[in-house]
Amino acid sequence: MDFSTPPYVLAQTSVRRVMLQVLAALLPGIAAYVWLVGASIVLQLLIASLAALVGEALMLWVRGKPLTLFLSDGSALVTAWLIALAFPPLAPWWLVVVGTLCAIVVAKHLYGGLGQNPFNPAMIAFAVCIVSFPALMSQWPALGLKLSLAEQVQIIAGLAPRIDVMSGATPLDALKTGLKLGEGNVDVQTLLSSQEMFGNFAGRGWEWVSAGYLFGGLWLWQRRIVGWHAPLGFIAGLSLLAGALWVWNPQQFADPLFHLFSGGAMLGAFFIVTDPVSGCTTSRGKLIFGFSAGLTTYIIRVFGGYPDGVAFAVLLLNLCVPLIDMYTQPPIFGMKNER
Amino acid sequence: MLQQLFSFKGGVKPQTRKAPSVQSPIGQVPMPLRLYVPLHQSLGGAPNPLVQAGEQVLKGQVIGAADGWMSAAVHAPTSGTVLAVEQHVAAHPSGLPTLSVVIEPDGREQWIARTPLDHRSLAPERVRELLRDAGVVGLGGAVFPSHAKLTAARTVPVEHLVINGAECEPFMTCDDLLMRERAEEIVRGAAIFRDLLAARRVLIGIEDNKPEAVAAMQLAVRRLGEDHEVVAVPTRYPAGGAKQLIRVLTGKEVPASKRSTELGVQCFNVATAYTAYRALAHGEPVISRIVTLTGNVEQPRNWEVLLGTPMRDVVALGKPKADTSRYLMGGPMMGFEIGDLAAPVVKATNCIIAGSPNLFPPNPPEMPCIRCGACADVCPHELQPFELYWFARARNFGKTQEYHIFDCIECGCCSYVCPSHIPLVQYFRFAKSEIWSREKEKQAADAAKARFELRNARAEREQAEKAERLAKAAAARTSEKKVAPAQAETVTSAALPAAEAAPATDAEAVRKAKIAAAMERARAQRAAVLPRNTEQLTAEQKQEIAAIEARRLALLTSAAQPAGSPPEALTIPEHPTE
Ligand code: SF4
Ligand code: SF4
């Protein structure tokens, strides 16, 4: 429909504006990330962005869609940045590229492009790569590792050996392994206070990256780009289960705060479960979606085989979206008293 | 003000841009050379012309009589000569012409005899009739015949009468100025409505961006000693939607499936109240209205315009700026583009906005829906517009109804906020009109099928009876033959076929009867397919069909309702600004 129709005035908004604000909201987290691991993360962001734009352009061309309109909508960049932030910062460049292309080409465009993908593309990228390349996806830089930018570039480019610089664990992982090795004789408090990698309330340094995401997320909420339902649901789901187990057995289970600020929890709460395309659309649905994703994340990261559970939890819940939406349709104006 | 306010969900706050057109008082548009008065200016039946070319008419003379109860009369706006009764371009999104009375004013402004009446001394029935014959309709833009809204539900007393002065559409100020300048008449008109409905309380809702109007109305209420309550309501589009204003003032929510009187509430626009008062107390039918002329013009202002005045004449008064590229009738949220300025001002014309590419930039390209839910957040009827959009796009109209498409008031809030710039309202109108036309087709098909089956059954029954009769006759003949004694003994090979021929004739008769029946059936079938059956209709039936056709056509060309207006049988959505 190309004829101009009422309303003849429109709010100042566009998909691009929305996406750019999401990108802007990621900046505080990224800043903390740079402070923690160095500029390599910026490089990863660039690699992912480039791969996403190339993949997007290619698919748009194949599908015969207008290039500039869709390339400039910013949606591919959001996917790219989430991938770069979810992947280990020193992951080889091709891994990031494979993940990003997977997200853009398969998860997004093969399902119909912008607005049509039932699964969160960034989470598909994460899931595919952690299943296909589990070793590479678990190599996180050791804490306090001071590498020059050149060294980081070399590692990412695959020109320097990887093995000796990687500790291979995130704080979540370290806690899990520590508890497992301790076979019930080591308690969480001892672990957290004895190891250098744990900070004030979660992983040292990482807690501030998470805080950065929280800050950006709150800004998005204040700008009404995201609603409160999904993030709050996620945080509630994660904290509730974590809190219950922690109260029951504080020796073997970390406190909710630790879980909220570890791994991808904050990124997930404000930037993943809030993805409008693959998430629920009704208010109650968003609450249920977020809450269940939070619960599932906890179950996977504590009892499952993977260091973190956000990706699998979100993908699992993506599957349930049509059902949740169907059963949570709100009553309309004037029909609230009718069943 | 102790009035407790409620709020409705959703809504948007577009720039109001009302200030330019409230600087000057209401002006009088000079008499145009010709008036083109469309006969169909309200919802419901199209009035039939009562005048012919060459006839002299007086100011206020009925030129189109109300066609049935759901209709309203149309009057000559001034005295003069009828030049023609012909099709003339109408102010309607479709741009289709409509039957109009062309009048050449004689400049004498000679009124018909006007009889001032006191509604309290008349039977309510009579008052409603008078309003219909004075052409009083909803002047908020919906042009719903007012008298048809002035009957309380049988079992529910009317608790609240809401008088709508909210005027939430950007640019529009005609109600504002009317309230500022003619508050007393509005207050008196509201009292008429109150008396007819036996309403307990009268609530006059005005958006709080019109303090002058609020003050004027309060003053008028005080001065007349009425107990209407004038309430300033928060400015948020579409606060002036009838259902939204009812919600804000009374807390009641009227669903699409109900009339507001069923919930003990009714709502009228301030301008409607004004015309009702003029009609009864002064005997003046509706022959003019206040029109806001604003937008890309040098002199934005409100004008009192005789109905039938070509828009071009009105527009010229505002001195449109050079880059004016188009004109809208109504507000920018729910209005439509006027294709031809030769179209006349009608009862639905509340506002004419000159537009420039600057003022109304072309819509940005449509992107796919990203399911962001922004549309659902602002929908005052708490619908899920994006779901409706998906289903409308997929032509899954059953689902659109499941998701309450007929509760959509086409306010445009959803389109306004959509980051993907999807013309959602267009999709909803499309879906609605598809559903209506399918409904109509289905009704027609059902009727045809029923007719066909009836004929079929009758034909079959008749043929079966005939066959039975034939069979009986044949059987009787054979038994006669069998009884015939002599030849029976001399059975030869030659006689054998004859003997066998007897039952054969029997079978033959049945077969023939069957063929005849089949042929008759086929004929009946053909008759049902071809509209031959119209030949047997009585003159009365034929007339009725013609009337229905005319109404249908008139509805299509209705000046009142945006594209895809419902046939009368279906509920007519009330216009948000009424
Ligand atoms: S506002 Fe537009 S993009 Fe967002 S859900 Fe509604 S229709 Fe889709
Ligand atoms: S146009 Fe219809 S769907 Fe859109 S906001 Fe208004 S009532 Fe809701």
Q: Whose CA is nearest to atom 8 of ligand 1?
A: B369
Q: Could you give the count of Cα atoms lying within 13 Å of B442 in the half-sphere of its Cβ?
A: 6
Q: How many CB contacts within 8 angstroms connect chain A with chain B?
A: 134
Q: pLDDT class for A37, splitting at 50, 70, 90?
A: confident
Does A5 touch chain B if contact means CB atoms closer than 8 Å?
yes
pLDDT at A213 over 50: yes
Q: Whose CA is nearest to atom 3 of ligand 1?
A: B369
Q: pLDDT class for B539, splitting at 50, 70, 90?
A: low
Alpha-carbon distance of B382 to B380, in angstroms, equals: 5
Q: Which helix (H) or strand (E) holds B230?
A: strand B229-233
Q: What is the pLDDT of residue B577?
A: 45
Q: Which helix (H) or strand (E) holds B28?
A: strand B27-28
Helices (H), A72-120: 75-86, 93-101
Among B299-313, B399-413, B440-454, where is mean pLDDT lowest?
B440-454
**Boundary of a domain, candidates B442, B460, B478:** B460
Which residues on chain A are in Cβ contact (under 8 Å) with B354? none
Residue B425 in contact with ligand 2 by CB distance below 6 A: yes
Alpha-carbon distance of A170 to A139, in angstroms, equals: 8
Instruction: Identify the CA nearest to B86 among candidates B38, B125, B30, B14.
Output: B38
**CB-based contacts of B543: which residues, under 8 Å, 6+ apart?**
none
Q: pLDDT class for B576, splitting at 50, 70, 90?
A: very low
Which residues on chain B are in Cβ contact (under 8 Å) with A281? 371, 373, 376, 384, 386-387
Phi, psi of B353, rounded to the nearest 5 degrees: -115, 125
Q: Residue-wise over B308-344: b if at least 16 C-beta within 10 A, else e?
A: bbbbebbbebbebeeebebbbbbbbbbbbbbbebebb
**DSSP 8-class letter at A202:** S
**Chain B residue nearest residue A10, CA to CA:** B416
Q: Give the relative orientation of helices B270-281 and B174-181 as an angle to the nearest 10 degrees.
A: 50
Residues A274, A236 contacting (CB under 8 angstroms): no
Q: Whose CA is nearest to atom 1 of ligand 1?
A: B418
Residue B164 counted as domain residue: yes
| B29 and B62 both lie in a single domain | yes
Q: Which range, B107-111, B362-366, B458-462, has the best average confidence (pLDDT)?
A: B107-111
Cβ within 8 Å, pair A332-B383: yes
Residue B307 counted as domain residue: yes
Residue B99 counted as domain residue: yes
Secondary structure of chain A: what % helix, strand, coil (to 5)?
65, 0, 35
Residue B190 in contact with ligand 2 by CB distance below 6 A: no
Q: Could you give the count of Cα atoms lying within 13 Å of A234 in the half-sphere of its Cβ?
A: 33
Helices (H), B329-396: 374-378, 385-393
For residue A10, give the ligand nearest its CA: 1
The shortest C-alpha distance from B362 to chain A (Å) reads 7
Q: pLDDT class for B532, splitting at 50, 70, 90?
A: very low
> B103 has which bridge partners?
B35, B82
Token pair of A308 as six digits: 């973190």
| B387 and B453 both lie in a single domain | yes
Look over chain A and give the mean of its residue pLDDT values, rounded to a whole number. 90
Q: What is the pLDDT of residue B469?
A: 83
pLDDT at B51 over 90: yes
| B275 and B200 both lie in a single domain | yes
Cβ within 8 Å, pair B384-A329: yes
Q: pLDDT tens digits, residue range B135-164?
A: 999 999 889 999 999 999 999 999 999 999
Distance of CA B2 to the CA centre of its chain: 37
Cβ within 8 Å, pair A115-B370: yes
| B175 and B54 both lie in a single domain | yes
**CB-based contacts of B114: which residues, under 8 Å, 6+ apart?**
B60, B282, B283, B284
Q: Whose CA is nearest to atom 5 of ligand 2?
A: B379
Q: Whose CA is nearest to atom 1 of ligand 2?
A: B410
pLDDT at B468 over 90: no
Alpha-carbon distance of B217 to B223, in angstroms, equals: 10
Instruction: Identify the CA nearest to B81 among candidates B99, B66, B67, B61.
Output: B61
| B27 and B170 both lie in a single domain | yes
Query: Which residues in chain B (147-176) have CB-CB distances under 8 A to chain A?
Result: 170
Residue B562 counted as domain residue: no
Query: Which residues in chain B (468-527) have CB-CB distances under 8 A to chain A?
Result: none
Dihedral sign for Cα B249, B255, B259, B263, please.
negative
Alpha-carbon distance of B101 to B308, in angstroms, equals: 9
Does A200 touch chain B if contact means CB atoms closer than 8 Å?
no
Residue B354 counted as domain residue: no
Alpha-carbon distance of A222 to B36, in angstroms, equals: 54
Cβ within 8 Å, pair B364-A73: no
Residues B72, B137 contacting (CB under 8 angstroms): yes
Query: Which residues in chain B (349-378) have CB-CB distances under 8 A to chain A?
Result: 355, 360, 362-374, 376
* Range A95-117 average pLDDT: 96
Cβ within 8 Å, pair B360-A15: no
**In terms of residue numbers, what domain contains B421?**
363-460
Dist. CA B159 → ligand 2 center (Å): 28
Alpha-carbon distance of A181 to A37, in angstroms, equals: 28
The shortest C-alpha distance from A109 to chain B (Å) reads 13
Which residues on chain B are in Cβ contact (under 8 Å) with A75? 370
pLDDT at B460 over 50: yes
| B298 and B407 both lie in a single domain | no
**Boundary of a domain, candidates B460, B482, B501:** B460
A193 to each of A143, A188, A197, A255, B551, how far by Cα in Å? Answer: 15, 9, 9, 14, 85
Q: What is the pLDDT of residue B510?
A: 60
**DSSP 8-class letter at A82:** H
**Chain A residue nearest residue B426, CA to CA:** A5
CATH number at B71 reads 3.40.50.11540
Cβ within 8 Å, pair B368-A5: no
Tokens 């009609």 label which residue?
B279
Angle, CA B94 vertex, CA B92 and CA B99 arms, to 5°: 60
Distance of CA B364 to the CA centre of its chain: 31
> B284 has which bridge partners?
none
Which residues on chain A are in Cβ contact (under 8 Å) with B384? 281-282, 329-330
Residues A205, A144 contacting (CB under 8 angstroms): no
Q: How many residues comprise chain A?
A: 339
* Residue of A308 and B411 predicted with greater confidence: B411
Does B404 touch chain A if contact means CB atoms closer than 8 Å?
yes
Among A34-38, A311-315, B502-506, where is mean pLDDT lowest?
B502-506
The shortest C-alpha distance from B364 to chain A (Å) reads 9
Among A255-259, B300-304, B533-537, where is mean pLDDT lowest?
B533-537
Cβ within 8 Å, pair B386-A15: no
Does A68 touch chain B if contact means CB atoms closer than 8 Å?
no
pLDDT at B474 over 90: no
Dist. CA A81 → ligand 2 center (Å): 35
| B89 and B153 both lie in a single domain | yes
Does A115 touch chain B if contact means CB atoms closer than 8 Å?
yes
A118 to each of A124, A277, B239, how far by Cα in Å? Answer: 11, 7, 37
> B164 has which bridge partners?
B205, B269
Q: What is the pLDDT of residue B63?
A: 97
Residue B411 counted as domain residue: yes
Alpha-carbon distance of B420 to B476, in angstroms, equals: 84
Ligand 1 pocket, CB under 6 A: B 369-375, 385-386, 389, 417-420, 422, 424
Shortest-distance atom of ligand 2 to CA B375: 5
Q: What is the pLDDT of residue B483?
A: 55
Ligand 2 mutation target, pool B13, B237, B413, most atoms within 8 A of CB: B413
Shortest-distance atom of ligand 2 to CA B379: 5
Token pair of B361 as six digits: 């930039």
Residue B557 counted as domain residue: no
Count Cβ atoms below 10 Å from residue A58 Cβ, excluding itself. 14
Phi, psi of B341, rounded to the nearest 5 degrees: -70, -5
ipTM value:
0.91
* Residue of B128 and B509 predicted with greater confidence: B128
B477 to each of A276, B16, B152, B482, B487, how far by Cα in Å? Answer: 87, 96, 75, 9, 16
| B31 and B168 both lie in a single domain | yes
* Range B179-184 average pLDDT: 98
Alpha-carbon distance of B354 to B293, in angstroms, equals: 8
% of chain A beyond a pLDDT of 70: 94
Shortest-distance atom of ligand 1 to CA B389: 7
Computed on alpha carbons and rounded to an integer, the radius of gyration of chain A in Å comes to 21
Alpha-carbon distance of B409 to A108, in angstroms, equals: 35
A97 to each of A29, A101, A102, A132, A300, how far by Cα in Å? Answer: 22, 6, 8, 14, 26
**Chain B residue nearest residue A332, CA to CA:** B382
| B143 and B237 both lie in a single domain | yes
Q: pLDDT tens digits, residue range B221-263?
A: 999 999 999 999 999 999 999 999 999 999 999 999 899 999 9
Residue B567 counted as domain residue: no
Count Cβ atoms below 10 Å from residue A69 Cβ, excluding itself. 15
Token pair of B249 as six digits: 């003032």
Phi, psi of B537, rounded to the nearest 5 degrees: -75, 150
| B238 and B110 both lie in a single domain | yes
Dist. CA B424 → ligand 2 center (Å): 8
Alpha-carbon distance of A145 to A139, in angstroms, equals: 13
pLDDT at A267 over 60: yes
pLDDT at B461 over 50: yes
- Given its phi and psi angles, is residue A325 left (phi above 0), alpha (psi -120 to 50 degrees) or beta? alpha
Q: Which burial class, exposed, middle or buried, applies to B530 when counting CB atoms under 10 A from its CB (0-12, 13-18, 19+)?
A: exposed
| B88 and B177 both lie in a single domain | yes
* Residue of B113 and B557 predicted with greater confidence: B113
Indicate the number of domains in chain B: 2
Long-range contacts of range A191-198, CB-CB < 8 Å, 24 or more positions apart?
A192/A254, A192/A258, A196/A143, A196/A144, A197/A143, A197/A171, A198/A171, A198/A174
**Boundary of a domain, candidates B437, B460, B483:** B460
The shortest C-alpha distance from B324 to chain A (Å) reads 15
Cβ within 8 Å, pair B364-A14: yes
Question: DSSP readout, B77-105?
Answer: SSSEEEEEEEEEE-SSTT--EEEEEEEEE
Alpha-carbon distance of A48 to A85, in angstroms, equals: 10
Token pair of A5 as six digits: 């129709």
**Chain A residue nearest residue B13, CA to CA:** A11
Q: pLDDT tens digits, residue range A143-180?
A: 666 778 888 888 888 887 776 656 656 778 778 877 87
* Range B374-385 average pLDDT: 96
Cβ within 8 Å, pair A9-B383: no
Phi, psi of B376, rounded to the nearest 5 degrees: -65, -35
Count Cβ atoms below 10 Å from residue B215 Cβ, excluding itself. 16
Which residues on chain B are in Cβ contact (under 8 Å) with A18? 370, 372, 419
Instruction: Identify the CA nearest to B210 among candidates B233, B182, B185, B194.
Output: B233
Cβ within 8 Å, pair B368-A18: no
Coil vs helix vs strand at A339: coil
Alpha-carbon distance of A289 to B85, in angstroms, equals: 64
% of chain B beyond a pLDDT of 70: 82
Q: pLDDT tens digits, residue range B73-113?
A: 999 999 999 999 999 999 888 878 999 999 999 999 999 99
Cβ within 8 Å, pair A115-B258: no
| B257 and B394 both lie in a single domain | no
Secondary structure of chain B: what % helix, strand, coil (to 5)?
40, 15, 40
